[in-house]
Amino acid sequence: MGELIQLIVSGTATGAIYALAALGFTLLWQASGTINFAQGEFVMVPAFIMLLFMGTAGAPLWLAFLLTCLVAMLLLGYTFKVAIVDPLIRHGVIPLVIATLGLSIGLKQLVKSGVTAQAEPFPSPFPDGLLALGSIKVSYSDVGTLLLAGLIVIGLQMFLNRTVTGRAMQAVAQNTDAAKVLGINVKRMVLYTFLINAVLAVVAALLVTPTYLAKFDMGESIGLKAFYAAIIGGFNQTRGALLGGVLVGVLENLMGAYVSPAYKEGVALMLFLVVIIFKPEGLLGKTEERKV
Amino acid sequence: MNKPQKIGLALGLVLIACLPPFLKSYGIYLMTLLCVYLMAAFGLNLIVGYAGQMSIGQAAFYGIGAYIAAILMTKMGISFWLVLPIAAVVCFIVGLMLGFPALRVQHHYLAFATLGFNVLVYLVMRNEEKLTGGTFGIANIPRPSLFGYSLDGALPFFYFTYASVILLATALWWLLRSPWGRAFAALRDNPIRAESTGVNITAYTLLAFAIGAACAGIGGVYLTALVNFIEPGQFNLSVSLMMLLAVIVGGSGRFFGPVLGSVIVILLPEWLRFLKDWYLALFGFAVIVLMIFLPGGLLSLADRFKPLGGTK
């Protein structure tokens, strides 16, 4: 029983990281119709930027994290939107998807040949050791990950639901034209979404890199899981990304422990395939009307 | 296609056929690989360019074809000629089974489903060691013979593959010229209008997907015979993504788009060896630039110089 609970806790922690990446993914989709196939690389690049700040500039982790948030907002938020998404979105979804695929390959290879092809160690923001609650032992890093990710997600939900800006962003996501008519600055709201996505990616990088290590291809797996999580939960629902992320994380852990470690990767996939067959709008999603 | 274009194409084909005897063995291997890759890429173009669907799992079908060939030929001694139709039919049926649920809902679900399917197929190839040899792969796969004439040599096998890909391309060309194929153009340009004139969108798209999958299966069989050794890494997701990029960069929905794209993906890196891994980085960023300025792919450049109002 204790083991099961431990597996669920650590699975939820991993899932929370997937959920962060998935959340950014769905936000981008809702606000601008962008399917970002480079989402995993958006986690990988900040990991290396943080290492750069810590290594060459000697900054402590928290400072490196904050500085990286700024750099990521500029590069992965603003520049990504202005240089790639804006000129492409008028051509429709497919050219944009292809461009983000290109971006994914480009960023990966750039880091591989320009920085390093090796896996680099990354310091954990949390202390080592285990927290014992009776017979259940949970690592501090799992607890920390859950707390931090939970805080970010709750904060983001509050921002989206309680503030004027957040509600304006939701309005843009639900009906761009109506939002425009109501005097909402659509362009600015979309830009905010891109900035938020960039920050979420940096947080995901901070939490995942200590275990995954910083490597040029670390984004492949995270990007894929975020993608599954977003679709399992419901592509057009922010809450869906959370549910999807946690489900994927927990099921993976249980599968790896009780059934077969070799097919650990496959469990998210099976769930994903079942969901797109039987409930294509996702577990929490709403069906989208076809636009003529 | 008008007469000068036909003559040009025939001359080009003959010219390519004359090239290999002057190449080293690695050059012949690359030319053969290009032909094999093209079989799958032509199929993908049918799905992406003509049926207007995203498929990110072409390498899965390529792999299914390859593994069927490898297992049947090495473990059961079944001849290449029997394996070829088996692989094509299996891929066709799997394509129908995967495409049917995914295409019930429009949008990007075929893309999602094929992506997931590719990862699943890769996992099975890697983990089912008894059947697939796991990460060790399957080695010593024989090459076929034709009318008692062995195709073991690099040159004979190239000509065999070259003739096969031309045959396959001709079949697809004929298919796209038929009334059945004409419906695709209508489908891609305006699906709702096509549906209102009686085209069954789902059935057509599904069939296009299954035929595209079968093409990849055939390509996989040839690949197995070419390289004599297969392992899961040859069929993972990044191979599918690369193939998708190849078709789109060349010009999806244009018959010769995949040819140009495959040359860029298979041959160009060999000429640009000095760039090493930077080649892929450049390629990735070049794709973005291309999508911004020429979303129709490189072959659509020709349209830019045509007088306005001309028809294709």
Q: How far is CA B246 from CA B91, B194, B241, in A?
A: 21, 28, 9
Q: What is the pLDDT of residue B179?
A: 82
Q: In whole angstroms, how large is the CA radius of gyration of chain B? A: 19
pLDDT of residue A292: 39
Say if B174 is an interface residue toward chain A (CB within 8 Å).
Answer: no
Burial A22-37 (b: 16+ CB within 10 A, else e): bbbbbbbbbbbebbbb
Contact B120 A88 (CB under 8 A): no
Do the Cβ atoms of A280 and B295 come within 8 Å?
Answer: no
Chain A residues inside the 8 Å CB shell of B244: 98, 101
Has residue A203 got a pLDDT over 60?
A: yes
Q: Which two tokens stand for residue A117?
A: 């092809």
Model confidence at A80, in pLDDT bands (50, 70, 90)?
Answer: very high
Of A99, A228, A277, the CB nearest to B288: A99
Measure CA of the first residue to CA of the last residue in chain A; give whole Å: 54
For A290, the enclosing helix (H) or strand (E) is none
Give residue A50's pLDDT band: very low, low, confident or very high (50, 70, 90): very high
Q: How far does A263 lie from chain B, in Å, by closest CA?
A: 7
Task: Give me the mean pLDDT over the A116-123 stretch.
Answer: 87
Of residues A64, A25, A31, the one with CA closest to residue A170 = A31
Please give the Cα distance from B11 to A176 (Å, whole number): 54
**Residue of A44, A94, A225 to mutate for B, most B C-beta atoms under 10 A:** A94
Q: Where are the alpha helices (DSSP H) in chain A?
A: 2-32, 39-55, 61-72, 86-89, 93-114, 140-162, 164-174, 176-181, 186-212, 218-233, 238-254, 264-278
Judge whether A172 is closer than 8 Å to chain B, CB to CB: no
Query: How many Cβ atoms from other residues are within 10 Å of residue B276's Cβ?
Result: 13
Percent over 70 (pLDDT), chain A = 97
CA distance, residue B128 to nearest chain A CA (Å): 10
Residue A114: list chain B partners with CB under 8 A: 281
| Per-residue confidence (pLDDT) for residue B310, from 0 to 100 | 44
pTM of the model: 0.87
Longest dimension (CA), chain B: 61
Is the distance from CB of A196 to CB of A10 less than 8 angstroms? no
Q: Where are the beta strands (DSSP E) in chain B?
A: 145-146, 149-150
Roughly what angle, to the nearest 10 degrees, separates helices A93-114 and B278-293?
160
Residue-range domain boundaries for chain B: 25-236
Give the pLDDT score at B107.
Answer: 56
Q: Which residues of B161-192 are buried (b: 16+ CB within 10 A; e: fewer)?
A: bbebbeebbeebeeebeeeebebbebbbeebe
What's the pLDDT score for residue B91?
95
Secondary structure in 3-state letters for B98-129: HHHHHHHCCCCHHHHHHHHHHHHHHHHHHHCH
Tell if the CB–CB gap between A109 and B248 is shorter than 8 Å: no
Chain B positions in Cβ-Cβ contact with residue A103 (cut-off 8 Å): 284-285, 288
Over its length of 312 residues, how does chain B's per-residue pLDDT go in tens digits? 677 888 888 888 888 877 877 778 888 888 899 999 999 999 999 988 888 888 888 999 999 999 999 999 888 888 888 999 999 999 999 999 888 877 776 557 788 788 888 988 998 898 888 888 877 878 877 777 777 677 777 888 888 899 999 999 999 999 888 887 788 777 777 777 877 877 777 788 888 899 999 999 999 999 998 888 889 889 988 899 999 999 998 888 888 889 999 998 888 888 887 777 788 888 889 889 888 888 888 888 877 776 554 444
Which of A98, A263, A277 to mutate to probe the B interface, most B CBs <10 Å? A98
Spacing of C-alpha A235 from chain mean position: 13
Q: Does the beta-carbon distance from B123 to A262 stay under 8 Å? A: yes
Output DSSP code: residue A82: I
pLDDT at A289 over 60: no
Say whether A87 and B292 touch across the interface (CB within 8 A): yes
Residue A172 one-letter amino acid: V
Paired residues of A28 in beta bridges: none
d(CA B57, CA B49): 15
CA A93 remoteness from chain centre: 20
Q: Would an 8 Å CB–CB cutoff place A103 in contact with chain B?
A: yes
CB-nearest partner of B287 from A99, A220, A231: A99
Contact of B59 with B118, CB cutoff 8 Å = yes
The more confident residue out of B288 and A3 is: B288
Contacting residues for A171 by C-beta, under 8 A, at least 6 apart:
A178, A179, A182, A184, A189
Query: Could you tell me how far CA A137 lies from the centroid of its own chain?
Result: 27
Mean pLDDT (chain A, rounded): 86
Q: What is the per-residue pLDDT for B133?
A: 80
Q: Is B117 on the interface with A (CB under 8 A)?
A: yes
SS (H, E, C) A168-226: HHHHHHHCHHHHHHCCCCHHHHHHHHHHHHHHHHHHHHHHHHHHHCECCCHHHHHHHHH
Say which amino acid occupies A205.
A
Across the interface, whether the CB atoms of A88 and B283 are under 8 A apart is answered no
d(CA B63, CA B219): 9
Distance, first Cα to last Cα, chain B: 10
Q: Give B-chain residues touching A91 at CB under 8 angstroms.
A: 291, 295
Q: Which chain B residues are within 8 Å of A95, Cβ to Cβ?
A: 291, 295
Contact residues, chain B, for A266 at CB < 8 Å: 119-120, 123
A151-169 pLDDT, tens digit each: 998 898 889 888 999 898 8
Pairwise CB contact (< 8 Å): A102 & B112: no
Q: What does the longest C-alpha to C-alpha distance in chain A come to?
A: 59
- Asked if the model's pLDDT at residue A228 lies above 50, the reply is yes
Residue B311 confidence (pLDDT): 45
The two counts, helices (H) then strands (E), for chain B are 15, 2
Taking CA atoms, A130 is separated from A254, A292, B166, in Å, by 20, 56, 64
Judged against a pLDDT cut of 50, whether residue A290 lies above it is answered with no
Q: What is the pLDDT of residue B217?
A: 94
Categorise residue B128: left if φ over 0, alpha if ψ from -120 to 50, beta otherwise: beta
Spell out which residues of chain B touch residue A89, defining contact as CB-CB under 8 Å.
none
> With contact defined as beta carbons under 8 Å apart, do B213 and B59 qualify?
no
Chain B residues lying within 8 Å of A290, measured CB to CB: 106
Cβ contact, residue pair A101, B244, below 8 Å: yes
The closest CB to that of A273, out of B113, B241, B295, belongs to B113
pLDDT of residue A2: 75
Nearest CA distance, B233 vs chain A (angstrom): 15
Between CA B162 and CA B250 the distance in angstroms is 20
